[in-house]
Structure formats: structure tokens, C-alpha cells
């Protein structure tokens, strides 16, 4: 850790000031005497790895958790009872945004702020519409306020949520808006638009407490940053005093190289294990590609370029009615098969969204892990519990899954270990090719390197890996080759070990 980094000290006129905040869950101390000072009208980043206590801190501010005794909090100089009351000028946009997707922007805003009504509860729609436009005007977005917000782009939804959080703001300056991981799900091109919105909030004199995992955006956006580690305060720093290396070190407590690259060797003459010819779907417009054994092939691209769809098509889950094109595995058969029958190739996919598409929450660890290989564990349809335990033990040892009892629900595991169970499920089927979607979504930098190394190790053992990610860092860290999709076709192909980040980003954005 760099010794010359001296944390800022409080200046005495904070918008939000919290000190001596502790919170225990049973025997676990999630926050230990943490404090934070947000100055009026600044963008203040809150950073830390998973388990550092960021979320607990935000949840205490939002009144969701009651902190342990002794915490002191002030907003604009007024003391408030942290965890029990939330001052009017402390507003939140949580990660899930809290919007009703089926309702329009106008209705979503009115749900929070109330409808403009006349006698008998009749809604004065014209006035309501004018109010809605007024609220959205300052953010310079052109959205249809009558369309269900589910049809808006993610950044437009975020804007609606921010406008909703700020409505009824009394007075101009002062107060704090808390944004909890607003960019976690935004593709690169939309992050810039969100930044403009956040800066607009700051321009009006409102401070922003900005929680994020992404280091690059902190340098672009934030004025100061507070870092937590293991439930303790590391310090608050001026962003200009930090580099990405020193920030990573402060967060992880050890020296981390943000330019880490996993070493993978692919023999140039290794056989082609998958060939894709003219595949189209909802977003794809005729993709051709080849993958060789032992490669880690990265798929990059903006939202709507097909980066999210391609993995699902290759694994046979792309929607049979719209997928066209052909696939083949030339080392096995010269026959091309229609891409809509891709399930026949048995290429497993590790989804980005673990909760909705990865784990089966009601199932035990063992049941989750063996779901794809039940036939191998069964005789005449009856599962052998002994075989099952054997497979579970084997994969748990290999991937170091930490579980006290494999018959207990998977929800008793930490998120990272749940992800390993999903990976083990895919690997247990002994596939030749594995597809990973957003392998580091919501994962902090210390754990990322472990993921890169594990994937590199699998590739060295002969597995072919296809990685789709909206994080260029992921692709640069482990891919041997990167394909850039643009408008549903392969627009560029680059050697993953030679390409630099600016070159990749330019290729993705297409200028």
C-alpha cells in the first residue's frame, strides 16, 4: 500500500456526515466504527470489494438496517436518528431502480410523487403530463413518457428513477442523492449518458454518493472516494491523489495489477472445435466464426450488437423460431446442423444472472451441482446417492467450493461459491466447449483475478471457452482472441494478447 496517501480529514461543513457507525449480524461485524463525510455538491464515490460493508452502509442510511448503538449522523447540519428515520433531503436510487416495468414513466413518477388530482379523485392528465416533462427536462433525455418503462433502454430507466428520487425536492442546493451501483448493468456507451445526468444533479448543488465496482468510471466522475475494506474504513481520498493501481491496492489490501493478463497457450494448429456459419437471430445479422481447441474467445460489443444473444444461440437457447444459420463441429462430423438445433451440441452456458438463470434457490448444493449429469448418476432412472456424493465431492475439491453440508440449500453459500456451483454443473458434463456470460458481473477486483486464473487453467487443460462480456478488462485479461460484434455481425477480430484497451474500445464503439 502506498505510504504517501494521506486520507482527507473532515472540513466541518458537510452535506452528510456519519461517524462511529457499526452494525453486527449475529457474531459478524459487518461495519466497524465507519464514518463518511460528503461535501455539498460533490460526487463522492463509495468503493469496496464484496463484503466490504458498502451495502450495509447504504442500507443503514436508507433505514433498512438499524445500526448498533453509538452512530451519529447529520444531514446539512441537522442530526438525525440513523437507521430509524430518513431525512427528506437524503434520497436513494437503488440498484434495481424500483420501477414498475409495465407502467409508463409518467405513472412511475406519479406513483412516488402522487397524481395531480381534481375533485372526486379524477386525475388531471394534462397537468400530470406537464409535471412529468418538467421533471425530466433537466436531464436532456428524449423519452416517450407514455410508453411502459420496460421498453426504455437501461440508462433511460435509470434517468426516470433518478428523476423520481429527486421529485418534490424542496429548495435547490444541499441534500444528498445516493446512487447504488447505477452502472452495474449499463453497457459502455450508455455509461457516458448516465455520467451527464449525475453531473447535472451535482450542478444543481446536490451531493451524490455514488456506489460502484467499476474503477475506471470513478476516475472519470468522482471528486472524492471513500474506501471500505472488511467492514472498516480505509479512508477518504481526493480522486486526483489516486491511480487505478493505488485504488485497487487500497480496496483489496494487497497490491493488485489492474493490467493483469492470464497466461494461456494455444497451439496454432489445434483443431477447430466449432464453426459458425451465417447465424442470425433477433440481433445477430449473419455471424461467421471459428473456435479452436483450447482458445479463450472473447465476444465484445455494445448493447444491441448481439453480444448477449450469441452465447444463447450457440448453446441452443436462442429461441427456435427466429434463429437461422448453421453450426458444425468439424473434428466430429462434416455435417452442418441448423443453429436452431444447437442444443444437440451440448455446449453449456454459465449465465450472467445467477439468481434468475443459474441456481435453483430451493435446491440443495448437491442437487444444483448434479442437475445436468443426472443420467450419468442413475441406473434405470434411479439416482445413486453414492455416485451423486462422489461427483459433488470431486467438483467441490477441484473448484474449492466452501460448503459445510452439500445437502443444505444453496442459498446458505456465499454468492461466489454459488457461482462456482453453477460452473461445476456445467463442467461436470465434461464439455469440450464452455460459454461464459459476464463472468465477473458484480465481482470485485481481488476475486476477478482468481476467476481469470481458473478459466485460463481450464483452457490449458484443453477446454475451449467462449466469453461474452461488457467489461473490456475481462476480455483483455484472459482472452486469446477477441471478436468485436457491431450491428449483429463480426466487425473486427483481434489478438487478445496484443490488443490494447483503447484499440479495443474504439473497435467496440466503431469509429
Partner 1 sequence: MGGNHSEEAGAQLGALATKKQVTRPSLLQALAVDKIGAVYIWIAIVIVFSFWAPETFPTAATAKQILNANAVTALAAMAIIIPLAAGVFDLSFAYTMTLSGVVVVKLILGGTSVMAAIVIAMLVAVGVGVVNAVIVVVAKIDAFIGTLATGSLILALVTMVTGGTSMSGAEMTGPFAKVGQAQVGGLTLPNVYVVVIAVVIWYLFEHTATGRRLYATGFNPDASRLAGVKVERLRFLSLVASATIAGFAGIVLSSTLGSGSPTAGVPYLLPAFAAAFLGATQLKNGRFNSGGTIIAVLLLGTGTTGLALAAAPAWSQSMFVGLVLIAALAVTGLQRRSTSSSRGSQSDVGTAPADHPEAGARSSAATTPQA
Residues 10-69 that bind partner 1 (CB under 8 A): 25-26, 28-31, 50-56, 65
One residue of 154, 245, 258, 338 binding partner 1 per CB under 8 A: 154
Q: Strands 337-338 and 324-328: what pairing?
A: antiparallel
Residues between 195 and 234 with contacts to partner 1, criterion CB under 8 A: 213, 230-231
Closest approach, Cβ 282 to partner 1, in A, equals 4
CA distance 18 to 474: 35
CB-based contacts of 167, cutoff 8 Å, min separation 6: 109, 112, 113, 135
Residue 439 interacting with partner 1 (CB under 8 A): no
Residue 450 interacting with partner 1 (CB under 8 A): no
Residue 367 interacting with partner 1 (CB under 8 A): yes
- What mask of x and - would describe binding to partner 1 in positions 68 to 107, judged by CB under 8 A? ---------------------------xx-----------
Task: Locate 182 and state its grid cell.
Answer: 447505477
Beta bridge partners of 483: 299, 493
- Of 54 and 91, nearer to partner 1 (C-beta) is 54
Asked if 339 contacts 325 with a C-beta cutoff of 8 angstroms, the reply is: yes
Residue 378 interacting with partner 1 (CB under 8 A): yes
CB-based contacts of 124, cutoff 8 Å, min separation 6: 116, 117, 118
The DSSP 8-state label assigned to residue 103 in this structure reads S
One residue of 33, 66, 103, 153 binding partner 1 per CB under 8 A: 153
Residue 469 interacting with partner 1 (CB under 8 A): no
The DSSP 8-state label assigned to residue 493 in this structure reads E
Residue 372 interacting with partner 1 (CB under 8 A): yes
CB-based contacts of 26, cutoff 8 Å, min separation 6: none
Question: How many residues make contact with partner 1 (CB under 8 A)?
Answer: 95
Residue 254 interacting with partner 1 (CB under 8 A): no
Closest approach, Cβ 333 to partner 1, in A, equals 20
How many residues does this entry show for the chain? 511
- Of 223 and 471, nearer to partner 1 (C-beta) is 471
Of 33-41, 267-275, 347-355, 499-507, the window that binds partner 1 (rule: CB under 8 A) is 347-355
- Of 116 and 371, nearer to partner 1 (C-beta) is 371
- Of 337 and 429, nearer to partner 1 (C-beta) is 429
Residue 189 interacting with partner 1 (CB under 8 A): no
CA distance 310 to 305: 10
- What mask of x and - would describe binding to partner 1 in positions 300 to 339, judged by CB under 8 A? ---xx-xxxx--x--x-xxx--x-----------------
One residue of 282, 328, 331, 497 binding partner 1 per CB under 8 A: 282
Tell me how crowded residue 288 is: count the other CB atoms within 10 A of its CB: 12
Of 77-85, 239-247, 261-269, 402-410, the window that binds partner 1 (rule: CB under 8 A) is 402-410
- Of 129 and 189, nearer to partner 1 (C-beta) is 189
Closest to 435 in 3D by CA, of 364, 303, 343:
343
Closest approach, Cβ 368 to partner 1, in A, equals 9
* Distance of alpha carbon 147 from the chain centroid: 26
Q: Name the CA radius of gyration of the chain, rounded.
A: 25
Q: Strands 349-350 and 433-437: what pairing?
A: parallel
Residue with cell 441537522: 78
- Of 52 and 104, nearer to partner 1 (C-beta) is 52
Task: Locate 336 and state its grid cell.
Answer: 452442418
Residue 377 interacting with partner 1 (CB under 8 A): yes
Closest approach, Cβ 114 to partner 1, in A, equals 28
Asked if 111 contacts 100 with a C-beta cutoff of 8 angstroms, the reply is: yes
One residue of 114, 150, 271, 286 binding partner 1 per CB under 8 A: 150
State the Cα angle at 486 between 95 and 324, rounded to 5°.
100
Residue 404 interacting with partner 1 (CB under 8 A): yes
Coil, strand or helix: which one is 50?
A: coil
Closest to 156 in 3D by CA, of 208, 101, 110:
101
- Of 55 and 131, nearer to partner 1 (C-beta) is 55
Amino acid at each position: 500500500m502506498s505510504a504517501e496517501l494521506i486520507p482527507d480529514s473532515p472540513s466541518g461543513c458537510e452535506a452528510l456526515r456519519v461517524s462511529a457507525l457499526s452494525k453486527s449480524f449475529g457474531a459478524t461485524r459487518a461495519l466497524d466504527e465507519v464514518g463518511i463525510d460528503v461535501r455539498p455538491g460533490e460526487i463522492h464515490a463509495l468503493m469496496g470489494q464484496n463484503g466490504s460493508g458498502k451495502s450495509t452502509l447504504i442500507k443503514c442510511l436508507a433505514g433498512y438496517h438499524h445500526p448498533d448503538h453509538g452512530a451519529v449522523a447529520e444531514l446539512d447540519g441537522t442530526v438525525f436518528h440513523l437507521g430509524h428515520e430518513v431525512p427528506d433531503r437524503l434520497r436513494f436510487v437503488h440498484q434495481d431502480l424500483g420501477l414498475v416495468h409495465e407502467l409508463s414513466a409518467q405513472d412511475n413518477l406519479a406513483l412516488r410523487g402522487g397524481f395531480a388530482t381534481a375533485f372526486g379523485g379524477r386525475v388531471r392528465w394534462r397537468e400530470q403530463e406537464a409535471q412529468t416533462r418538467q421533471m425530466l427536462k433537466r436531464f436532456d433525455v428524449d423519452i416517450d413518457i407514455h410508453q411502459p418503462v420496460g421498453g426504455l433502454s437501461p440508462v433511460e430507466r435509470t434517468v426516470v428513477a433518478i428523476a423520481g428520487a429527486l421529485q418534490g425536492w424542496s429548495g435547490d442546493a444541499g441534500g444528498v442523492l445516493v446512487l447504488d451501483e447505477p452502472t452495474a448493468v449499463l453497457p459502455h456507451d450508455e455509461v457516458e449518458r448516465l455520467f451527464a445526468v449525475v453531473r447535472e444533479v451535482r450542478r444543481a448543488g446536490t451531493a451524490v454518493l455514488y456506489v460502484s465496482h467499476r474503477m475506471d468510471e470513478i476516475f472519470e466522475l468522482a471528486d472524492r472516494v471513500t474506501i471500505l475494506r472488511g467492514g472498516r474504513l480505509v479512508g477518504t481520498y481526493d480522486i486526483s491523489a489516486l491511480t487505478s493501481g493505488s485504488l485497487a491496492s487500497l480496496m483489496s489490501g494487497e497490491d493488485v495489477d489492474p493490467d493483469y493478463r492470464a497466461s494461456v497457450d494455444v497451439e496454432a494448429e489445434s483443431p477447430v472445435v466449432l464453426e459458425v456459419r451465417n447465424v442470425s437471430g433477433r440481433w445477430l445479422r449473419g455471424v461467421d466464426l471459428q473456435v479452436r481447441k483450447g482458445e479463450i474467445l472473447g465476444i465484445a460489443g455494445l448493447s444491441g450488437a448481439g453480444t448477449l444473444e450469441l452465447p444463447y444461440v450457440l448453446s441452443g437457447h436462442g429461441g427456435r423460431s427466429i434463429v437461422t444459420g448453421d453450426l458444425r463441429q468439424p473434428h466430429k462430423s462434416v455435417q452442418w446442423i441448423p443453429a436452431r438445433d444447437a442444443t444437440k451440441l451440448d455446449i453449456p452456458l454459465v449465465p450472467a444472472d445467477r439468481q434468475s438463470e443459474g441456481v435453483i434457490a430451493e435446491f440443495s448444493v448437491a442437487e444444483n451441482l448434479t442437475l445436468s449429469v443426472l443420467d450419468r448418476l442413475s441406473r434405470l432412472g434411479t439416482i445413486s446417492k453414492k455416485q451423486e456424493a462422489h461427483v459433488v465431492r470431486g467438483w467441490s475439491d477441484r473448484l474449492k467450493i466452501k460448503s459445510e453440508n452439500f445437502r443444505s440449500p444453496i442459498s446458505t453459500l456465499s454468492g461466489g461459491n454459488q457461482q462456482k456451483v453453477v460452473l461445476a454443473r456445467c463442467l461436470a458434463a465434461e464439455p469440450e466447449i464452455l460459454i461464459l456470460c459476464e463472468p465477473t458481473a458484480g465481482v470485485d477486483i481481488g476475486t476477478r483475478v482468481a476467476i481469470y486464473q481458473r478459466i485460463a487453467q481450464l483452457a490449458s487443460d484443453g477446454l475451449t471457452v467462449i466469453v461474452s462480456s461488457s467489461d473490456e478488462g475481462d476480455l483483455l485479461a484472459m482472452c486469446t482472441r477477441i471478436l468485436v460484434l457491431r450491428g449483429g455481425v463480426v466487425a473486427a477480430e483481434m489478438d487478445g494478447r496484443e490488443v490494447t484497451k483503447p484499440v479495443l474500445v474504439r473497435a467496440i464503439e466503431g469509429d
